[in-house]
A and B are shown apart, each in its own frame.
Chain A
Amino acid sequence: MLIRPPAPPDLRASDITPESLYLTRREWLAAAGLTVGAIAGAGALLPRRAAAQQALGTPYGLQADDKPTPWADVTGYNNFYEFGTGKDDPAVEAKGFRPRPWSVKVDGLVKKPGDYALEDFLKGSRVEDRIYRHRCVEAWSMVIPWRGIMLADVLKRAEPAAGAKYVEFTTLYDPSRMPGQRSPVLRWPYTEGLRLDEAMHPLTLLATGVYGRDLPNQNGAPLRLVVPWKYGFKGIKSIVRIRLTDRQPATAWNTSAPDEYGFYCNVNPTVDHPRWSQAKERRIGEFLRRPTLMFNGYAGQVASLYAGMDLRRNY
């Protein structure tokens, strides 16, 4: 059942796309060689602004005060331990990383396994722009305009076999290109997992870009997972393998600290992290904290996945 969540009707266009975004978009247009510099006059600006807005996509569950986090923060404040444990390490350490050529393997309990070049892997899926809230387990949050494809598309094409219940994702393991993997802060390669129904959910994205551009390396180029109702670390980066399985896969943070990070990791203001409360969050760029929303504000779309489950035990 694929129901696209509708945009709330009370959202004004001006709430979604601030001036700085138009500028970003225009820079990108210019870089792409699409500048219409020859066309003079203010009239030319209007269609470009409209196009920019369209590129940023429909606001999936956005609220009026969810303003996209500036590019500098989205690409400069990252947890990507493969490139260092400091928040500003990945932007520096991943500079020379080359995300192409890239291949992705889809295997395990599927009828049509395969090993694809990234271009072939993406072929046939509709690329969409979606603005999602992003809530880190460390109690900070952002609003990010992602670009990507629905994971469900990929899985359906691979045709899950009867016994498939979970999806396991694996990040590239190559310490020569990912210097953080030379120290054992986590068990490498990073792995993550979703239940098959979570993976098939229409909100679940495989992102290939942010702000209408290709993913910067520090954001998980060239392909990363985005599950907006879960804590950010579920969004595994630089994916090389997607494996369907009948058993709950081991995940990096659960392996590292099982008492602090479970398998589900749904955003839940009522279940504390053992070391801090999850009731509030600091939106990057804001001083006052705001209350954290159940399932990060996507309860209407995803709460039914967890009906009858004790979310305190299945954290």
Chain B
Amino acid sequence: MTLARLRERARAIQRPWWWRWAVWTAVIAPGAAVLAALLSDLLAGTRWLGSNPVKEGELVLGELTIKYLAATLAVTPVRRVLGWNWVQKDRRVFGVTAFCYGMAHFLWYALLDIQLDLGELAGDLTKRTYIIVGFAALLVMVPLVVTSTAASIARLKKRWVPLHRLTYLVPVLGVTHWWMSVKADVTEPLIFTATFAGLLGWRWWHARRDNSLHVPTPSARPGPA
């Protein structure tokens, strides 16, 4: 069967030597490019980000956050399906990157877009549902980033995994924020809704299959009597 053969071939692929460079470039370059474009547009009058560079840059950073969330959640399926165990190391990098872009998106909005108008910031964070939802996504990522170090993983032991299931909440909040912020054309939020539905659906399907494979006997289950 061709599918099985393809899978076999994919499994044989080892981590290429340039992989880590590719990952770091993918992580840093977009952010650096947005910042450089903004500075160039504001100071040198170029039009890299169009007529409204502050607004455009803000949207680009938001989209980058969503894209790196997708990359983070794609690591495990890719590892399991293609057998690329070596991508597992990149999951943390992608996750922390998603947080950094989310934070940059928020800071850009607060500092450059509304220009630290504290009244407006307070109003937005209390009255505007889509901003509350987006901010919640950012807040949920904080404990995840803080506990992403090897030391935290060692210290939290078994509690690390349930804590980090919070990751699944972030794209739900993030994409909801995007949907709600769009005026009429929902094409892009729709694409990422489908992407995350696929990534989370794959996990659900896998968990269900694994559970049905080895059903734990009730007596063997630890816990309060």
Residues of A within 8 A of B (CB): 72-73, 76-77, 81, 85, 87-88, 138, 140, 183, 185-186, 256-257, 272, 274-277, 279-280, 282, 284-285, 287-289
Contact = CB atoms under 8 A, between A and B. Distances in A.
A205 to B, nearest CB: 23
Contacts, number: 52
B143 to A, nearest CB: 28
A277 B52 contact: no
A186 B120 contact: no
B42 A85 contact: no
B123 A87 contact: no
A81 B184 CA distance: 9
Given A275-B128, A276-B124, A186 B184 contact: yes
Interface residues of B, number: 21
A277 B123 contact: yes
11 contacts: A72-B51, A85-B184, A87-B51, A256-B184, A272-B123, A272-B127, A275-B181, A277-B120, A279-B120, A284-B51, A285-B51
B54 interface: yes
Contacts of B123: 272, 277
A77 B52 contact: yes
B210 interface: no
Contacts of A88: 50
Given A77-B50, A85-B184, 11 more contacts: A72-B47, A76-B50, A81-B184, A272-B123, A272-B127, A276-B124, A276-B128, A277-B124, A282-B52, A288-B115, A289-B115
B178 to A, nearest CB: 13
A282 B124 contact: no
Contacts of B155: none
A287 B184 contact: no
Residue among B47, B52, B115 with max Cβ neighbours from chain A (10 Å): B52
B42 A287 contact: yes
A86 B130 CA distance: 21
B117 interface: yes
B184 A87 contact: no
Top 7 A-B pairs ranked by shortest CB distance?
A77-B51, A85-B185, A73-B51, A185-B184, A185-B185, A284-B51, A277-B120
Interface in B106-132: 114-115, 117, 120, 123-124, 127-128, 130
A143 B162 CA distance: 55
B55 interface: yes
Contact of A140 (B52, B120, B124, B183): B52
A76 B51 contact: yes
Contacts of B55: 140, 282
A61 B23 CA distance: 55
Contacts of A185: 184-185
Contacts of B51: 72-73, 76-77, 87, 284-285
A288 B180 CA distance: 26
Interface string B178-200: 00110111000000000000000
Contacts of A287: 42, 54
A73 B47 CA distance: 10
Contacts of B184: 81, 85, 185-186, 256-257
B190 to A, nearest CB: 12
A242 to B, nearest CB: 25
A87 B52 contact: yes
